[in-house]
A and B are shown apart, each in its own frame.
Chain A
Amino acid sequence: MIWNEKIECASRQEMLGIQSKRLKETVERIYHAVPSYRKKMQEVGLTPHDIQSVDDLKKLPFTTKNDLRDNYPFGLFTVPMSEIVRLHASSGTTGKPTVVGYTRKDIQMWSEVVSRSLCMAGVHRNDIVQIAYGYGLFTGGLGLHYGTENLGASVIPISGGNTTKQIQLMEDFGSSVLCCTPSYALNIAEVMNEMKVDPSKLKLRVGIFGAEPWTEAMRKEIEAKLGIKAIDIYGLSEIVGPGVSCECEEQCGMHINEDHFLPEIIDPDTLGPVAEGEIGELVFTTITKEGIPLIRYRTRDLTRLIYDRCNCGRTLVRMVKCKGRSDDMLIIRGVNVFPSQIETVLLQMSEVEPHYLLIIEREGTLDSVTLMVEVQEQFFSDEVRKLQELRMKITRQLESLLGISVIVKLVEPKTIERTAGKAQRVVDKRNLI
């Protein structure tokens, strides 16, 4: 089923018409409501009048995560707080989270795009949808929740964790759809095996997985182990959350809900456009959002766009699975982590020099993070207790800043390789791309 056939199967001409009209309205609104963005436009000699259609998009200045940070918490909102009905946040680069606000209409729009995504994945109103994404500041849980209710399917709002109970409810309630991170899906499969639960006896049919990078190999593994179709969903809280794009049952790229999120692909170095179909950095302009509309927001995700009509009948442009990042952000257990955050923690501690190495591994199905820190003269104590205390201190501070647990390992001086150029601070052994 196609949730909104008129839009999802519109001709390119129709879509461009909708996008141009909405882009014009959005630019007009931001120009008058957000001083920092108005200033940016003025600096390059632009007024809202210069933006008449999608063709003019390339004239507009970019927005980055730094802009969100500089205007923390609500500086980029275009409506008064009385209009904001929900706040979500994701981790930022320096400890301050990125905050997004939704008006009532934004929540409706978000529900709409998630309902479309669920339909793309083959979910219908008779399904029982188990949402094992975290509920809270993270957009995963509540995003899927509202979209599922809007579709009319039944929600099990179980949130993440408590795997035994997840499996018990799958058996007892007959969940047919599972929404979570792909690594958690593998974890569930593993626990099922330990509990001697046969997945083929369950009603589970579809999985909607996102919030972290995963490979085709992982997809095959999940599909084989759980006996389901594994669908990739994409989103980022700055744009709306999950539902920015989603795969259909053809599993050949994620359809972008481009009547709400206007995509572009740019060269991250020159910031100019790339040739159609080439890989580059994905940039979104939200053209219907009220709370915090963003113009040309740089996602830092590398991908390419496919404009051909899909076998499913939809004409919505597709993006291929992300091919990496144009910055150093890591996604660990669904949490965004910037190596610079770790440096911040270490620099704040007088006892430690910021020589570190971060090793990310996938042990079984879950990511583990090990931080190796060199023990320097000045804070080396010959008492085991004091070294353990130091280790705990680093661990606690990292956990509270990053939101994930980290194994801190103290190593001898000069064991972490020094390089003349950009230091190799991160070793990602997960082979995700």
Chain B
Amino acid sequence: MIIKQLSIFLENKSGRLHEVSELLGREGINMSAFSVADTSEFGILRMIVSDHEKAYKALRENSFSVSLTDVVCLSCPNQPGAMAKALRILSENDVSIEYLYAFSVGESANVVIKPDHLDKCISVLQQHRMELVKASDLYKI
């Protein structure tokens, strides 16, 4: 259930995002999900890829500050109120969210969550019969 997400530190200068995507393309690595957190000076690129170990190695070799972060991916129906329900469960069980990003694929919506306590988050969601995406499935998208 634990998903390995790549996090990359980027300075705010033009072309950096392009360099990352080009590098991964060259290595034959596909991106499943992708998000950028930005501040006035730097950004953090977070993504889930087809082969995180290979991507990690390639990025390090090219002098990027990169780390692997454990996240969880929730799958809920792609319809109004579905996400609210999941978030209410987490909130009622005192699980805080550091950040999240989401993408829909047809009938279902996937929400990548970085909670403050990963294990607790997973068990709370499972207890409430929420569907979690398997890592191997997510990497294939």
Contacts and interface: CB of A to CB of B under 8 A. Distances in A.
B41 A380 contact: no
Most chain A CB neighbours (cut-off 10 Å) among B5, B44, B60: B44
Contacts of A383: 44, 98-99, 114
Contacts of B42: 375, 387, 410
A377 B99 CA distance: 21
Interface in B59-105: 60, 63-67, 69, 98-99
Given A387-B42, A387-B44, A410-B42, A382 B64 contact: no
Taking chain B's interface residues, is the majority helix, strand, or loop, or is none over half, making it mixed? strand
Interface in A406-428: 409-415
A102 B98 CA distance: 57
Contacts of B99: 383
A409 B46 contact: no
Contact of B64 (A387, A388, A411, A412): A412
B135 to A, nearest CB: 18
B39 interface: yes
A413 B63 contact: yes
Interface string A362-392: 0000000000000111001111110110000
Interface in B9-61: 9-11, 37, 39, 41-42, 44, 46, 60
Contact of B9 (A380, A385, A414): A380
Contacts of B10: 412
A375 B9 contact: yes
A369 to B, nearest CB: 16
Most chain B CB neighbours (cut-off 10 Å) among A376, A380, A382, A388: A382
B63 to A, nearest CB: 4
A413 B65 contact: yes
Nearest to A385: B98
Contact of A410 (B5, B41, B66): B41
B67 A380 contact: yes
A393 to B, nearest CB: 15
A73 B134 CA distance: 65
Interface residues of A, number: 18
A382 B65 contact: no
A409 B41 contact: yes
B9 A412 contact: yes
Contacts of A411: 11
B67 A388 contact: no
Contacts of B69: 382
Contacts of A412: 9-11, 63-65
Given A387-B44, A410-B42, A377 B65 contact: yes
B93 to A, nearest CB: 21
B84 to A, nearest CB: 24
Contacts of B98: 383, 385
B46 A380 contact: no
Contacts of B39: 384, 387-388
Contacts of A375: 9, 42, 65
Nearest to A383: B98
B6 to A, nearest CB: 9
Nearest to B64: A412
Nearest to B39: A384
A376 B67 CA distance: 10
A414 B64 CA distance: 9
Given A412-B64, A415-B11, A382 B41 contact: no
B16 to A, nearest CB: 8
Contacts of A377: 60, 65-67
Given A377-B65, A414-B63, A382 B11 contact: no
Nearest to A410: B42
Contacts of A410: 9, 11, 41-42
A382 B46 contact: yes
Nearest to B45: A382
Most chain A CB neighbours (cut-off 10 Å) among B42, B65, B66: B65
A382 B63 contact: no
A377 B56 CA distance: 12
A363 B98 CA distance: 37
A154 B120 CA distance: 72
Nearest to B42: A410
A277 B69 CA distance: 66
Nearest to B46: A382
Contacts of B5: 382
5 contacts: A381-B67, A387-B42, A388-B39, A410-B11, A411-B11
Which 4 pairs across A and B sit closest by C-beta, in order of nearness? Answer: A382-B7, A414-B63, A380-B65, A375-B65
